[in-house]
């Protein structure tokens, strides 16, 4: 008996949005690697009135249905700041979840492509939820491991379905595992790092903890570095002041002062690193809910977290000759020596960043996961 045809339509109202959010909880519940996000956080993130992304962008939420059941979802979006800082004439897609069915994939990508094409775009790029500053990329290698904080997970068939539609690689991004006990002894980078860190010390560079009591301002200082240090990177869009405030509020329950660092010279912010405990180890047990037992898992489980993610580490361009990055790296090594977390993963590194990838390998790191952004001409 042939399957009932699928239809794609926009999300309309709270009931539809709930079905959009709930889909991965049904599709992924048997996948041991998948980590359920908090439902209330997903609702807030997708709320156009609350997420400051929508101050400079618009998006459509789409669901694919078969016989009344949601079997896939996707967003289509266009972003004025992407246009401003990356050029081109791109639309994006994100929040992709679907059953292993080429018809569903074709219908979803087709609908998202049509939506961005109607807005004059000639290429669709993704997945991005909603930008490269959020969760982005399709997992194409490293399926066996549980993803770390702010890192998506999808089964291998997603890659097969997108490539079956003719979508091609725009960029790969690698995440590296680095553990204190597994760093190569006497590797070629250690002497350079220690020498550069000494230069920073001699030049009066101070690395201090971020102050949680002043978190909004501290995240603002971090974002000041972030926006400048990454400004020339492929796919980068600077974060706005409103987005800084939004992120500070979201990060407060997760941030640990010892792992969040500001580098200053004579009171001027010159570099920063935001490293986050892997709260996914706790979320895994919460099944996307705070009640009735989610809070208990959160309060008791976070003490057992044993890895971190270096979300970002950067230095303002005019200070990059002072050894600031080395000083931040040394501070990470010192922190790992006295904290329960002895290692973890880097944030994603573009495949084209040869020097950083070589450094990770040279220090004894291993590629934990590879994420891919796909593109298709319209």
Domain check: are 112 and 257 in the same one?
A: no
Average pLDDT over residues 190-215: 83
Q: Say what the pLDDT of residue 264 is.
A: 93
Q: Say what the pLDDT of residue 1 is.
A: 45
What whole-number distance in Å separates Cα of residue 349 and Cα of residue 1? 47
Domain check: are 163 and 186 in the same one?
A: no
Residue 146: which residues within 8 A CB-CB, separation 6 or more? 32, 33, 35, 153, 280, 281, 284
Q: Say what the pLDDT of residue 361 is.
A: 87
Tally of residues, the chain:
378
The answer to whether residue 26 sits within a structural domain is: yes
Q: What's the number of domains the chain is made of?
A: 2
What whole-number distance in Å separates Cα of residue 283 and Cα of residue 353? 32
Domain check: are 215 and 352 in the same one?
A: yes
Average pLDDT over residues 353-378: 92
Of 128, 145, 172, the one marking the end of a domain is: 172
The answer to whether residue 376 sits within a structural domain is: no
pTM of the model: 0.92
Residue 92: which residues within 8 A CB-CB, separation 6 or more? 76, 77, 78, 79, 82, 116, 124, 125, 126, 128, 130, 131
The answer to whether residue 124 sits within a structural domain is: yes
The CATH number assigned to the domain holding 53 equals 3.40.630.30
Q: Say what the pLDDT of residue 301 is.
A: 63
Band (pLDDT 50/70/90 cuts) for residue 259 is very high
**292 has a pLDDT exceeding 60:** no
Task: Give the tens place of pLDDT for each residue, 20-30.
Answer: 999 999 999 99
Torsion angle (degrees, nearest 10) of CA 235, 241, 245, 250: 0
Band (pLDDT 50/70/90 cuts) for residue 353 is very high
Band (pLDDT 50/70/90 cuts) for residue 319 is very high
Of 35, 38, 154, 141, the residue nearest 94 (C-alpha): 154
The answer to whether residue 352 sits within a structural domain is: yes
**4 has a pLDDT exceeding 90:** no
Domain check: are 303 and 189 in the same one?
A: yes
Domain check: are 166 and 310 in the same one?
A: no
Domain check: are 162 and 193 in the same one?
A: no
The answer to whether residue 351 sits within a structural domain is: yes
Strand duo 343-346 + 308-315: pairing: parallel
Which residues make beta-bridge pairs with 172? 372
The answer to whether residue 316 sits within a structural domain is: yes
Domain check: are 191 and 157 in the same one?
A: no
**139 has a pLDDT exceeding 80:** yes
Domain check: are 227 and 120 in the same one?
A: no
DSSP string, 200-250: HHHTTEEEEE--GGGHHHHHHHHHHHHHHHTTTSTT--PPPHHHHHHHHHH
What whole-number distance in Å separates Cα of residue 60 and Cα of residue 114? 11
**114 has a pLDDT exceeding 60:** yes
Domain check: are 40 and 94 in the same one?
A: yes
Domain span at 11 = 6-172
* pLDDT higher at 288 or 114: 114
Task: Give the tens place of pLDDT for each residue, 66-81.
Answer: 999 999 999 999 999 9
Domain check: are 201 and 141 in the same one?
A: no
The answer to whether residue 378 sits within a structural domain is: no
Q: Provide the mean pLDDT of the chain.
A: 90
* pLDDT higher at 373 or 347: 373
The answer to whether residue 42 sits within a structural domain is: yes
* pLDDT higher at 305 or 99: 99
What whole-number distance in Å separates Cα of residue 124 and Cα of residue 114? 10
What whole-number distance in Å separates Cα of residue 329 and Cα of residue 358? 16
Of 172, 187, 219, the one marking the end of a domain is: 172
Of 109, 142, 172, the one marking the end of a domain is: 172
Which of 157-171, 250-264, 312-326, 344-358 is predicted most confidently? 157-171
Domain check: are 227 and 141 in the same one?
A: no
Domain check: are 244 and 300 in the same one?
A: yes
Is omega for the bond preceding 292 within 30 degrees of 0, making it cis?
A: yes
């Amino acid at each position: 008996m042939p399957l009932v045809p699928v239809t794609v339509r926009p999300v309309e109202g709270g009931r539809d949005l709930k079905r959009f959010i709930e889909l991965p909880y049904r599709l992924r519940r048997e996948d041991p690697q998948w980590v359920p996000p908090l439902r209330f956080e997903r609702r807030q993130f997708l709320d156009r009135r609350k997420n400051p992304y929508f101050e400079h962008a618009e998006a459509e939420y789409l669901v694919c249905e078969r016989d009344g059941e949601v079997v896939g979802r996707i967003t289509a979006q266009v972003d004025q700041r992407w246009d401003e800082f990356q050029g081109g004439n791109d639309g994006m897609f994100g929040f992709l979840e679907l059953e292993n069915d080429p018809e569903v994939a074709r219908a979803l990508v087709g609908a998202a492509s049509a939506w961005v094409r109607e807005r004059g775009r000639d290429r669709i790029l993704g997945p991005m939820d909603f930008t490269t500053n959020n969760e982005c990329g399709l997992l194409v290698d490293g399926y066996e491991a549980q993803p770390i904080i702010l890192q998506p997970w999808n089964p291998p068939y997603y890659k097969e379905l997108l490539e079956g539609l003719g979508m091609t690689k725009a960029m790969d991004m690698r995440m590296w595992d680095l553990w204190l006990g597994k760093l190569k002894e006497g590797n070629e980078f250690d002497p350079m790092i220690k020498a550069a860190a000494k230069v920073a010390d001699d030049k009066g560079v101070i690395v201090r903890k971020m102050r949680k009591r002043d978190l909004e301002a501290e995240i603002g200082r971090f974002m000041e570095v972030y926006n400048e240090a990454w400004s020339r990177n492929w796919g980068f869009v600077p974060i706005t002041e409103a987005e800084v405030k939004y992120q500070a509020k979201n990060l407060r329950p997760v941030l640990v002062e010892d792992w969040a660092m500001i580098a200053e010279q004579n009171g001027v912010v010159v570099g920063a690193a935001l490293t986050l405990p892997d709260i996914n180890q706790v979320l895994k047990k919460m099944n996307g809910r705070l009640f009735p037992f989610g809070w208990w898992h959160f309060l008791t489980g976070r003490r057992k977290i044993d890895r971190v993610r270096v979300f970002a580490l950067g230095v303002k361009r005019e200070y990059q000759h002072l050894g600031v990055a080395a000083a931040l790296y040394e501070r990470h090594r010192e922190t790992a020596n006295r904290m329960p977390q002895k290692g973890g993963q880097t944030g994603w590194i573009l495949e084209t960043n040869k020097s950083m990838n070589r450094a990770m390998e040279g220090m004894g790191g291993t590629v934990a996961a590879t994420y891919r952004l796909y593109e298709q001409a319209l």
